[in-house]
Amino acid sequence: MAEILADIGEFGLIDRIHELLRKESVQTPALTLGIGDDTASFLPHAGYEILVTCDCILEGRHYLPQHITPLELGRRAMVLNISDIGAMGGTPLYALVSLGLRADTPVSDVEAMYRGFAAELNPFGASIIGGNLTKSEGNPFIDITLIGEVEHGKTVRRSTAKVGDAILVTGYPGQSAAGLQLLLHVKRMEDLHDHPLVRAYNTPSHRAREGRAIAQSGYVTAMIDTSDGFLGDLGHICKESAVGAELIREKLPISEDLRQAAQKLGQDPYDLVLKDSDDYELIITCSPDHVDQICSAVSALSDVSVTEVGRITDVARQIKLILPNGTRSEIIPAGWDHFTA
């Protein structure tokens, strides 16, 4: 019979986690005190700003437990936070992980989640330095606080887009949304786990390395990830920068996988690209003269595509979609909302 949390208790689980991380996680030289005391401590690097973000995911709200493995869940939860650090042009350093778990959760599932956390942090030389455990009578949750750094003066914000800027996007927004729709509406569930769009939903990719390269180029004016959906996050840039935007529909990148899924689901592929999403692509603004430099900064690092999809305009918070016939249609910059979606 599988060992569960009720068998080993909170402190037994902490010991297991500590030992797992000692063997499988990166040891960071700047860390002066890690797991085992009331707090952790580290020495910040001279000339760098500290970035701090947090994200909580709840079973049934942010993931479907019947369709995701514990390892995938750990990776997914950490990617959400890494993406935020990357969208600011930074690099992750340390994570604090808090879990709300049922007493009958298998210990092996928790260990697999931590292996997922470490799998995403290790490539950056980042590590878990603490957290908290609690018993949950309701849905389990994962709450991560991630600490990162960025060179002083290199932080990229969402509030600094300029009128006339080009709007760029990495990758193919909407793939995760399409993957979720497949899980919810396609009946032959057993065939879906390895579907590329389902993989995009369960284990999305962050663009932290690309974000840092873009920031280092010095040509970006504003940047944000697409965690709330393309329109919702472009709307955040427009609001904070007091600008508007025009998007050219035919330039929006649509992968062949997404196009086929949209046809199967009876949905408009552009709706999947623009609306509620769970992708972690980057929306980037820059001077039209610097589009090539931004693309070069990314291509020097990875094969992630960068597509120019529109322009920043001077009508604050107004986003228009330019259709193939030249018609300009105003669209509402709505994205994911935890309390109304």
Confidence class of residue 281 from pLDDT cuts 50, 70 and 90?
A: very high
Is residue 203 classed as helix, strand or coil in its secondary structure?
Answer: coil
Q: What is the pLDDT of residues 138-167, one digit of tens each?
A: 899 999 999 999 999 999 999 999 999 999
pLDDT score recorded for residue 338: 55
Examine the pLDDT at 313 and tell me if it is beyond 90. Answer: yes
Q: How many other C-beta atoms are found inside a 10 Å radius of the C-beta of residue 89?
A: 24
User: Band of the pLDDT at 341, cuts 50, 70, 90?
Assistant: low
Q: Rounded to whole angstroms, how far apart are CA atoms 79 and 85?
A: 10
d(CA 251, CA 294): 17
Per-residue pLDDT, 337: 56
- In sequence order, what are the residues at sequence separation of 6 or more whose Cβ sits closer than 8 angstroms to the Cβ of residue 326? none
269 neighbors 262 (Cβ within 8 angstroms) = yes
Residue 335 has pLDDT above 80, yes or no: no
> Could you give the CA distance from residue 161 to residue 8 in angstroms, rounded to a whole number?
52
Q: ∠84-88-93 over CA atoms, to 5°?
A: 65
CA distance readout (Å), 9 to 5, 234, 297 = 6, 45, 49
User: Could you give the domains of the chain?
Assistant: 5-151 (3.30.1330.10), 166-331 (3.90.650.10)
| Distance separating alpha carbons of residues 292 and 284, to the nearest angstrom | 13
For residues 283 and 309, is the Cβ–Cβ distance under 8 A?
no
Q: H/E element holding 239?
A: helix 230-241
Contact yes or no for 172/258 (Cβ under 8 A): yes
Q: How many residues does the chain have?
A: 341
Q: For residue 28, is pLDDT > 90?
A: no
d(CA 93, CA 53): 12
- What is the pLDDT of the chain when averaged over all its residues? 93
192 token code pair: 């879906």
Eight-state DSSP code of residue 217:
H
Which amino acid does the sequence have at 90? Answer: G
Nearest to 124 by CA among 142, 98, 148: 148
Predicted confidence (pLDDT) at residue 34 exceeds the cutoff of 70: yes
Cβ density class 307-328: b for 16+ within 10 Å, e for less: bbbbbbbeeeeebbbbeeeeee
Helix (H, G, I), strand (E, B) or coil at 247: strand
How far, in Å, CA of 162 to CA of 140, rounded? Answer: 42
pLDDT in tens, 203-227: 999 999 999 999 999 999 999 999 9
Confidence class for position 248, pLDDT limits 50, 70, 90: very high
Nearest to 182 by CA among 58, 64, 341: 64
Can you tell me which residue has the tokens 């504003």?
222
